[in-house]
Amino acid sequence: MSNPEGAVDGGRGRAGVFVIFGITGDLAKKMTFRSLYRLERRGLLDYPLIGVAADEWTVDQLMDRARSAIADTGEELDEDVFARFASRWSYLAGDVTTPEVYRRLGEEMARVRVQRRPGALFYLEMPPSLFGTIVEHLAQAGLTEGASIAVEKPFGHDLESARALNERLHRAVDEGQLLRVDHFLGKEPVIELEFMRFANLALSRLWDRDSVTCIQITLGETFGVEDRGHFYDPVGALRDVVQNHLMQVLALVTMDPPTGASDDDLRDKKSEVFRAMPAVLASEAVRGQYSGYRRIDGVADGSTTETFIALKLAIDNWRWEGVPVFIRAGKRLAATATEVRLFLRNTPRLPFLPGLDSAADNQVVLRIDPDAAMRLELVAYDDGTWKKVPLETAFARELGEPLEPYERLLHAALTGDHRLFARQDAVEETWRVLEPLIDAPPAVVEYAPGSWGPPEADDLVSGYPSWQEPWLGEPGLPD
Ligand SMILES: NC(=O)C1=CN([C@@H]2O[C@H](COP(=O)(O)OP(=O)(O)OC[C@H]3O[C@@H](n4cnc5c(N)ncnc54)[C@H](OP(=O)(O)O)[C@@H]3O)[C@@H](O)[C@H]2O)C=CC1
Ligand SMILES: O=C1O[C@H](COP(=O)(O)O)[C@@H](O)[C@H](O)[C@H]1O
């Protein structure tokens, strides 16, 4: 497990109070209570907590919700830990579009805050249309000095709206106070990418155009949109998981080493990758929609929203020129798995093994989900043929139980570590790269649920290794 206390705090120090807007919502129920409870159990939660939402609840009602939400995630509840956790909370009901809420919030913050710690963390797990309003009210109420503000996704729905939101927020607070949450940046293998790539010569020497022919990134989900039609139909796969999660992963896979340990040292390197990427060509993308999607409640009649997307991206820099990055993501696919796969160049012909074709290319696989693992696919000579020999490891076996993504991100935000959050320029660059698919989306092609999307996605990788079945096996055991 990476050490959460090892975080660089950028001089901000720990928050004196943690305010969560939207505490009665779905995300809080699914993720926030559990993550905070787990931090409490680890002894890492040392903050008064204030929940804010519209409904008139008592703290007892909120804690009933917290208890059932934590239990619903399958987490075993330790009553002593829960009692400590529950004692930290207060709750404030009100409409966040009115100044009155912020006056009362200021009073409550002053009442509960840890006096020796001037900073505060505001976490906005709220409808995105309210991000600007809330931040403006916080600033007008004088609550933002020395504070950090974490905002949930999505951050805009295209380049123009992302820029407009950034400008609006920047009129109230500095960029250094803003944390754009992307839960993929809290996943253990995504974090480990930076360490593994640069701490291991065996990997770092392979990680460029001299050794790599192409990169595939797959995010497959066997489940569909089900009861999320209202949310998903105006969004689609590109905005839902590519612009944010997979582009962030891509940057960590391909960036140069950061030159220091500050928040911006890492984020500068990620932004450099995005800046080196030309905008995607609409002719190099395939949009798919699974059969039956249009019958889902909340999906518009004749919807052309994509539930699958595959695209080819380029990075025009010295490290990656000529190495395409293929991304595919979708719902109702053949497997639930997220992985990054690098294909290495073939070795020259082996004259001492006459009659054999050159060996299959080696592949490096980083599995992000369902469980973190890594695999190096080698080949060995076996009785006249080539045999694949995988070297594999499971992160949990080697590194212990990881923090949950939101546990890690909330802890980082509370301790002033901003490295795990997306910066303004990176978010805008990712929208720029993908904008052609938003402005003029290619026609959507129907695909069969349980497949790997429309067959047209296979044509996209023509001339390169075909899409690979994600590696789902138990590390160390035969597939
Ligand atoms: N749900 C999920 O799985 C995920 C959500 N997100 C993001 O998290 C954010 C929240 O999503 P989610 O939890 O699903 O949303 P919900 O609609 O479930 O919750 C919204 C919350 O905002 C509160 N709220 C809304 N309007 C007001 C208002 N005017 N004044 C005070 N409180 C208000 C609601 O309070 P009340 O209930 O009292 O009305 C509720 O607590 C969004 O940005 C979403 O994109 C990101 C990843 C996953
Ligand atoms: O943000 C989202 O991510 C999930 C995939 O993330 P995971 O951590 O659950 O694998 C995706 O299913 C969802 O549609 C999207 O909104």
Arithmetic mean of pLDDT, 309-329: 98
192 and 130 in one domain? no
Residues 6+ apart with CB under 8 A from 67: 77, 82
6 — pLDDT class (breaks 50, 70, 90): very low
Residue 329 and residue 241 in contact, taking contact as beta carbons nearer than 8 Å: yes
CA distances from 267 to 52, 72, 103, 366 (A): 31, 36, 35, 21
- Predicted ipTM > 0.85: yes
Query: What is the chain's alpha carbon radius of gyration, rounded to the nearest angstrom?
Result: 23
| pLDDT tops 90 at residue 178 | yes
Ligand 1 and 244: CB distance under 6 A? no
200 and 123 in one domain? no
Order the strands of the 325-330 sheet from edge to edge. 385-394, 373-382, 363-369, 337-344, 212-220, 325-330, 308-313, 285-290, 444-447
Is residue 437 assigned to a domain? yes
User: pLDDT at position 1, please?
Assistant: 34
Ligand 2 atom 3: residue of nearest CA: 241
Is residue 208 assigned to a domain? yes
Is residue 357 assigned to a domain? yes
Give the span between the Cα atoms of 276 and 322, in whole angstroms: 12
Ligand 1 centroid, distance to 19 Cα (angstroms):
14
User: pLDDT at position 154, please?
Assistant: 95
| pLDDT tops 70 at residue 464 | yes
Substitution site in 241, 338, 404 for ligand 2 pocket (most atoms within 8 Å of beta carbon): 241
**At 138, is the secondary structure helix, strand, or coil?**
helix
Q: H or E stretch including 21?
A: strand 18-21
Residue indicated by tokens 């935000």 = 413
Q: Identify which ligand lies nearest to the alpha carbon of 96.
A: 1
Ligand 2 centroid, distance to 144 Cα (angstroms):
30
Is 331 annotated in a binding site? The answer is yes
246 and 118 in one domain? no
320 and 225 in one domain? yes
User: pLDDT at position 9, please?
Assistant: 43
- Across the chain, mean pLDDT equals 94
196 and 142 in one domain? no
Ligand 1 and 93: CB distance under 6 A? no
The string of pLDDT tens digits covering residues 111-149 is 999 988 889 999 999 999 999 999 999 999 999 999 999
268 and 134 in one domain? no
Residues 6+ apart with CB under 8 A from 228: 298
Is residue 404 assigned to a domain? no
Q: Which residue has the higher pLDDT, 475 or 467?
A: 467
243 and 140 in one domain? no
Ligand 2 and 272: CB distance under 6 A? no
| pLDDT tops 60 at residue 17 | yes
Ligand 2 atom 15: residue of nearest CA: 240
Residue 24 and residue 53 in contact, taking contact as beta carbons nearer than 8 Å: yes
Is residue 101 assigned to a domain? yes
**Count of domains observed in the chain:** 2
The string of pLDDT tens digits covering residues 368-422 is 999 999 999 999 988 888 888 999 999 888 888 889 999 999 999 999 999 999 9
Give the span between the Cα atoms of 313 and 326, in whole angstroms: 6
Q: H or E stretch including 330?
A: strand 325-330
Index of the ligand 2 atom closest to the CA of residue 405 = 8
Arithmetic mean of pLDDT, 11-19: 86
Burial of 355 (0-12, 13-18, 19+ CB in 10 A): exposed
Residue 95 and residue 126 in contact, taking contact as beta carbons nearer than 8 Å: no
Amino acid letter, 112 = V
Is 183 annotated in a binding site? The answer is yes
CATH of the domain at 85: 3.40.50.720
189 and 85 in one domain? no
200 and 99 in one domain? no
Ligand 2 centroid, distance to 241 Cα (angstroms):
7
| pLDDT tops 50 at residue 320 | yes
| pLDDT tops 50 at residue 7 | no
User: pLDDT at position 353, please?
Assistant: 82
User: pLDDT at position 226, please?
Assistant: 93
Residue indicated by tokens 């703290």 = 59
Give the span between the Cα atoms of 333 and 447, in whole angstroms: 9
381 and 335 in one domain? yes
Burial of 344 (0-12, 13-18, 19+ CB in 10 A): middle
Give the span between the Cα atoms of 415 and 5, in whole angstroms: 9
Give the span between the Cα atoms of 208 and 36, in whole angstroms: 39
Ligand 2 and 221: CB distance under 6 A? yes
Arithmetic mean of pLDDT, 349-366: 85
Percent of the residues in the chain that have a pLDDT greater than 90, as a whole number = 88
Ligand 1 atom 39: residue of nearest CA: 54
Ligand 2 and 240: CB distance under 6 A? yes
Is residue 294 assigned to a domain? yes
Index of the ligand 1 atom closest to the CA of residue 57 = 38
267 — pLDDT class (breaks 50, 70, 90): very high
Cis upstream peptide for 370 (omega within 30°): yes
CATH of the domain at 219: 3.30.360.10
Arithmetic mean of pLDDT, 166-192: 97
Is residue 362 assigned to a domain? yes
148 and 203 in one domain? no
Q: Which residues are catalytic?
A: 245
11 — pLDDT class (breaks 50, 70, 90): low
Residue range(s) defining the domain that contains residue 381: 185-399+424-460
Ligand 2 centroid, distance to 219 Cα (angstroms):
9
Length of the chain: 479
207 and 252 in one domain? yes
Q: Which residue has the higher pLDDT, 13 or 101?
A: 101
Give the span between the Cα atoms of 200 and 181, in whole angstroms: 29
Ligand 1 centroid, distance to 128 Cα (angstroms):
9
Ligand 1 and 118: CB distance under 6 A? no
Is 54 annotated in a binding site? The answer is yes
Is residue 168 assigned to a domain? no
Task: Give the closest residue to 194 by CA, choosing from 241, 157, 248.
Answer: 248
Q: Which residue has the higher pLDDT, 18 or 14?
A: 18
Substitution site in 20, 126, 152 for ligand 1 pocket (most atoms within 8 Å of beta carbon): 126
Is 312 annotated in a binding site? The answer is no
Helix 79-86 with 33-41: angle, nearest 10 deg: 110
Q: Identify which ligand lies nearest to the alpha carbon of 26.
A: 1
